[in-house]
Amino acid sequence: MKRILLPAGGALLATGLLAAGLAGTAQAQGDVASDALAKTEAQAAEVADFWSKSNNAALTQAVAFNPDSLEVKKIKSGGGYSADTKPGSAVPIGEEKKVAVKTQNVNLPKTIGKVFFEGRDGKLYWCSGTSIQSQYRNLVATAGHCVYDMAANNEVVSRWVFVPGYYQGKTPFGIYVGKQAFTHYDLDVYEDFDRDYAFVTVYNGIGGPNADAPKSVTWEEYKAFQGEKDVKEVEVSEDEYKKGKLDPKTTNYYTVDPGAQAEKTGPDYPGAVVEKVEVSKGVYDAAPVGKANKAKFGEPITEIVTKNEWLAYNGIGEKSKDSAGNYLITHYYVQQWYKPGKVARYLRLEPFIVTGGLKDVGRLGDNVGGQGVAWNQPAGAVVRTFGYPAGPHPDGNKPYTGVTPKWCYGKTASKVLQVPAKKVEEHQSLRCPVTAGYDGGPWLAKYSNAKRLGYVTGVTSLIVDVDSNNRYDTITSPIFDGETAAIYKAAAAVWSGKLVK
């Protein structure tokens, strides 16, 4: 895997959205590590298709990410935190010009959502994340372990998307495919959880009510199409069936539903009708071409299915995967002829492809806004944290479903937390009794309930049982410092683009 190392000094935004205050934070150029998630538009389109097809079925199959590294028990308190540079910040989207607004009751931010991805083990997972300020309004903050698979040589995960406002398969603001991930070199290479954060640029969102809209095509177009396709049966009259069977160009695309009363015969019986019978690939390959029982019936038909459907399939069709990672089942058919007059239905086989019907819904920050980002903030600050918890506590109790976001409120601990098992020397912590799925969610300082905006000063990394009662009660986050700011600024200046022209 190739990694692009960006010099921090050359990554500042030209628009002035980020506050100055990084003079002296130009670390060694190896601080900023960047990895491609969906480098090309073709790769991103495949990812968008994967998560959006079949009414977003894959989104509902994903489970809360719960790696061994997430939940830990043995911790200890360290000393106070010392900032490496002066405090600094980037204001939230929409707050570039100050507007006085009265504080109201707590409202959930529109910017938060779920991060979905396919792990290196082939399973589908989700974490939490949030939209944040950036030059092109296309940036998501989440935990580093929700982008980099610590159990697989720290390689980036596959099919990474962000869905703000996700609820039970619904994508109210669209699906945003990750293009490029930025993190600290120490996390990328050394799995340093003191740097367990990532900033991900995303393409414009895709969405629309016409997802998976079928489009009728010719058989030539059907055979040439490499995406999702299928064949539907349309009942026709006996006259149309006979006419279609007599035309060599269409003879293989008419069949019958013989029904329980139909009697088998040969193709030379006066008025005989033919039906398809599914067989294995070996039987099909050995079958002759022509008009006869057990002769080939048209071309094989390939369907794209979900991974779970693919694993559960026990039929005689052939299972395979294509170069894009789609799960395929190919069906093979031979002829069976029946006496006329007793068939249940005459059928025409119509091929169609799934065009997607997706539309560009615009930039992430334009649709949901974006939180500000702040670094080198003092310990003991009041924060609100947000996320989608779903995993169980160690005692098996499962109080959360992951369906709706939850939040915690309070002051961060005055002393840093150390987690020897993860080589954590400095994490900030907050009392918060959540479980897996909450990780990656933002820690927001100066949160305005009316505006639903604040400043991200951390992201949930580890979930801890401090008092050893088999219930998680504390969450931790890397400390956002000057090095974090340099990485954030590098990511915030990168353009991504759109998938639907």
- Match 């938060």 to its residue by tokens: 112
326 and 372 inside one domain? no
Q: Is the pLDDT of residue 363 over 90?
A: yes
Label residue 26 by pLDDT band (50, 70, 90).
Answer: very low
390 contacts: CB under 8 Å, gap ≥ 6:
63, 64, 398, 400, 401, 402, 435, 436, 437
Kindly report the pTM of this predicted structure.
0.66
338 and 223 inside one domain? yes
* Mean pLDDT, residues 154-178 taken together: 91
The answer to whether position 127 is within a domain reads: yes
Q: Decide if 45 contacts 53 (C-beta within 8 A).
A: no
Q: Is the pLDDT of residue 488 over 60?
A: yes
Output the average pLDDT for the chain.
82
pLDDT score at 228: 66
The residue with greater pLDDT, 469 or 26, is: 469
149 and 162 inside one domain? yes
Q: Decide if 429 contacts 472 (C-beta within 8 A).
A: no
320 and 414 inside one domain? no
3-class DSSP assignment, residue 299: coil
130 and 246 inside one domain? no
What is the residue range of 153's domain?
4-210+360-492
* Mean pLDDT, residues 205-215 taken together: 64
Q: Is the pLDDT of residue 285 over 90?
A: yes
pLDDT score at 303: 81
3-class DSSP assignment, residue 386: strand
pLDDT score at 253: 83
Q: Rounded to an integer, what distance in angstroms lies between the CA atom of residue 406 and that of residue 400? A: 9
Q: Which two tokens stand for residue 314?
A: 């026990």
Q: Up-side HSE of residue 327: CA atoms within 13 Å toward CB?
A: 12
pLDDT score at 209: 47
Backbone angles phi, psi at 165, to 5 degrees: 70, 20
Q: Where are the beta strands (DSSP E) in 135-228?
A: 139-142, 148-149, 155-156, 158-164, 176-184, 198-202, 205-207, 214-216
pLDDT score at 99: 37
Which of 302-311, 414-423, 438-447 is most confident? 438-447
pLDDT score at 90: 66
* Mean pLDDT, residues 28-52 taken together: 84
Helix, strand, coil shares of the chain, percent, nearest 5, are: 20, 35, 45
* Mean pLDDT, residues 385-410 taken together: 92
The residue with greater pLDDT, 345 or 182, is: 182
The answer to whether position 499 is within a domain reads: no
Please state, in angstroms and as integers, the Cα–Cα distance from residue 284 to each residue in 279, 288, 334, 347, 349, following that order. 6, 8, 7, 22, 19
- Match 């998976």 to its residue by tokens: 212
| Residue 37: closest CA among 148, 156, 199, 137 | 156
Q: Which two tokens stand for residue 304?
A: 């794209």
Number of domains, the chain: 2
Q: What is the DSSP letter of 49?
A: H
Q: Is the pLDDT of residue 205 over 90?
A: yes
pLDDT score at 106: 59
Q: Decide if 372 contacts 454 (C-beta within 8 A).
A: yes
* Mean pLDDT, residues 24-46 taken together: 75
pLDDT score at 18: 37
324 and 399 inside one domain? no
User: What residue type is assigned to position 131 of the chain?
Assistant: S
Percent of the chain, pLDDT > 90? 47
pLDDT score at 161: 98
> What is the secondary structure of 393-423 as a DSSP string?
PTTS-----SSS-EEEEEEPPSS-EEEGGGT
Label residue 54 by pLDDT band (50, 70, 90).
Answer: low
The number of residues making up the chain comes to 501
14 and 149 inside one domain? yes
Give the dihedral sign, CA 144/179/441/52.
Answer: negative
The answer to whether position 26 is within a domain reads: yes
pLDDT score at 226: 64
pLDDT score at 68: 52
Please state, in angstroms and as integers, the Cα–Cα distance from residue 373 to each residue in 67, 95, 234, following that order. 27, 12, 57
85 and 123 inside one domain? yes
pLDDT score at 70: 55
Label residue 113 by pLDDT band (50, 70, 90).
Answer: very high
The residue with greater pLDDT, 18 or 367, is: 367
Q: Rounded to an integer, what distance in angstroms lies between the CA atom of residue 92 and that of residue 335? A: 66
For position 436, which CATH number holds?
Answer: 2.40.10.120
